Amino acid sequence: MTNPISVSELRFGWETAYASETGTKDKVFGQGMKITTLNRRNNVEPIFGLGARNAQKLPVKQFEGSLSVESVLASPWFFRAVLGAASTTGGSGPYTHTWAESDTLTSMSIENELSTDTKGVVAFLGCVVNTCVITAAINELVRVRLDMLYSTESEDTTTDANVTDSFDLYTFAQATLELPDDSTVTDVQSVELTLNNSIEMLYGLGSRLGQKAPAKNRPYTARITRSFEDAATFLERFYGSGTGPNATVVETSLEVIFSNGLTGTNTRNIILTFGGVVPDEHNLPQDPTAIIMEDVPLIMRSLSVTATNNTELAP
């Protein structure tokens, strides 16, 4: 009888061809990683026929794999899987890395090592990020969840070395929100950003494995909770005017900034800049025993991400 799993490790590398296992897996998504979902499906279809109540055959159809990884926000390098490769500026540190929207996403090979009495190692191939959720809330660490689809798996016989994120992690106290850009919103209690790539695994005749993982629409949403301070910040933006619901609502911008507050080569920040921002709802529940909080879901049209740190090239 084997012992329960005592050690689980996770690391990844960028693929040069979709679902073709990369030789080096030396990156992690952040600190405090955990796998919140790992699901595999064979899509078995029992075949019944005349003359018997029991299934006569159990053929398998397309293989489906999904994986969700949660971590504490530290290094920014996972944005390559969400948006595309980064460009870097700066002749010397600190360096600024910029991720712009790309229609082609970079796939990953992710290695999962489980240690019991015997070691088990599986590589998930062709991993692409379907949804990225970033959450900052009062008295919490800033957390990132990556929901991924993948094409196939490979049982590995060798492993790469365990990897840890060398960057300091971010907490809620290092987060600020600006709406519009350069106008800081005070007393924000929480913000949740959802970046969706609308991935659809593409199958074809001749194999039950996913052949490609094209990205479709690119919707972005945010949900902000704030103690109610004034009507101008959110309610009048929701109206489109200062008097009540208007015929049109003007789009604005939104920046969510994570910063260690230092300067020079010690500078470290991640800035998400959204364009085309419109409030979709405005919720204002009121309880005489509680502080009045407004809850505002937003819809955004565009996104760019910059990160400043002392790493010369984005891996």
- In this prediction, residue 117 carries a pLDDT of 65
Whether residue 308 contacts residue 269, with contact meaning beta carbons closer than 8 Å, is answered with yes
- In this prediction, residue 91 carries a pLDDT of 80
- In this prediction, residue 34 carries a pLDDT of 95
- In this prediction, residue 191 carries a pLDDT of 98
pTM above 0.85, yes or no: yes
> Is 54 domain-assigned?
no
Residues of the chain with pLDDT under 70: 1-6, 116-118
- In this prediction, residue 6 carries a pLDDT of 61
For 17, 27, 147, the CA distances from 109, given in Å and listed in that order, are 10, 10, 15
- In this prediction, residue 110 carries a pLDDT of 96
Long-range pairs of 214-221 with CB within 8 A, sequence gap ≥ 24: 215/103, 215/104, 215/105, 215/128, 218/101, 219/299, 220/193, 220/194, 220/195, 220/196, 220/274, 220/299, 220/300, 220/301, 220/302, 220/303, 221/193, 221/194, 221/196, 221/280, 221/297, 221/298, 221/299, 221/300
> Is 3 domain-assigned?
no
What's the structural domain count of the chain?
1
* Other beta carbons within 10 Å of 86: 20
> Is 188 domain-assigned?
yes
> Is 53 domain-assigned?
no
- In this prediction, residue 3 carries a pLDDT of 58
> Is 55 domain-assigned?
no
Q: Is 75 strand, coil or helix?
A: coil
Q: Is 265 strand, coil or helix?
A: helix
> Is 79 domain-assigned?
yes
> Is 51 domain-assigned?
no
- In this prediction, residue 96 carries a pLDDT of 95
What value, to the nearest 5°, has the Cα angle with vertex 247 and ends 241 and 251? 60
Domain containing residue 225: 8-45+60-309
> Is 130 domain-assigned?
yes
